[in-house]
Structure 1
């Protein structure tokens, strides 16, 4: 966290992030850190928000510490509600509001974390007896006390299962439950198709956006036997859609080369949504934006094809 503090101080000093002046002659306040929690404070402006997002992306790539947008809260003082909603849309925050938990799948839906629990805790999902159980089947309130009900196919065994169980209990130990119906709240975001590319090309990006591609991590979560879960390109991190197309060095070089070819600034993606919407920030004509979008979709398809060629045909990624 000291490194993050250093990044923010540097960003403030060179004008990438504008904090709040405590007094006329006092220091500028840009962030507060307590343990592993961080609060950023600054002027409400699009440049501040975009630069903060870029800095968090670079910090993640350098340190491996990733911000959990699903747990982020945004507060605007003296700002219209619409502006706050626009910022939520820009950052891609999303949140499930639990009532009785009757309509949200415990393992398969995104509700407690930015990933479905079956992907976050694959060892536990493997021994779950009812894999389509609801939140209400596993959590209920008893006189304001949280009661957790489990249905394991066998007793927990091994260090991995024990560790994942402790992490799961910590994660869901204090769910925000209330009376009423379960609802999902997230920014209005619909996958944008492009008729300049074949359907099969768009389908790969669409499935990747929903984390529905058969990556090694996804296959392991479905109890498919695989040799390992490491990325085919780098061999260092678990293979997920976000890693293949965003975080992996192979993907980063691809996007850097494409940006150079386009004559655009380097693409700093925080997730797949950033790649799929990068054309929207271009000031060119509608045809140019559509062309950039088409190239992004084709690039995603080619990265996936290259991954498959390396995995199944032993070809060297190029």
Structure 2
């Protein structure tokens, strides 16, 4: 798996592995496990859609704006194949996956900051944390 060959900290590599295997405890997955009520399962950022892994990283307006800001186009299965988005970035091939995983890591951290600290993030602030 290419994720383990990146130059990223182990926690970000593990994050990528969880992402690839669909193992995040999103609000939708917690509802599916019977831990969270359905009415409390919407995205904490846009508050309009069920929070799935795909929604967090691609469909949420904030995540979509992040990808636009970095000049990347993504495909529907980004969470399972994050290395494919790197082909759209004007970066050397050896760092493309690193950058994509760092962007996704910062989107995840922004989501968690909103849940646990009530700190909203703008797309530009998420991109700034990657740089």
Alignment TM-score, normalising by the size of structure 1: 0.35
Structure with greater helix percent = 2
Residue equivalent to 2:74: 268
Please tell me whether residue 236 in structure 1 is matched to residue 40 in structure 2.
no
Please tell me whether residue 308 in structure 1 is matched to residue 120 in structure 2.
no
Distance across 2 between alignment mates of 1:317 and 1:197: 23
Q: For 1:135-182, what per-residue CA distance to the aligned partner results, in whole angstroms no more than 9, with x for missing partners?
A: xxxxxxxxxxxxxxxxxxxxxxxxxxxxxxxxxxxxxxxxxxxxxxxx
Could you say what the CA RMSD is over the residues aligned between the two structures, in angstroms? 2.3
Q: For 1:267-308, what per-residue CA distance to the aligned partner results, in whole angstroms no more than 9, with x for missing partners?
A: 1322224533223x3698xx8112121111111111111111
Higher relative contact order (CA 8 A, sep 6+): 2
Classify the secondary structure of the residue corresponding to 1:253: helix
Alignment of 1:99-114 (within 5 A): none
Please tell me whether residue 212 in structure 1 is matched to residue 19 in structure 2.
no
Q: For 1:92-122, what per-residue CA distance to the aligned partner results, in whole angstroms no more than 9, with x for missing partners?
A: xxxxxxxxxxxxxxxxxxxxxxxxxxxxxxx
Q: 1:205 to 1:192 in 2, by over 3 A?
A: closer
Q: How many residues align?
A: 120
Q: Is the 8 A contact 2:27 2:41 kept in 1?
A: yes
Q: Which has the larger radius of gyration?
A: 1
Q: 1:282 to 1:314 in 2, by over 3 A?
A: closer
Q: Is the 8 A contact 1:231 1:238 kept in 2?
A: yes
Classify the secondary structure of the residue corresponding to 2:70: helix
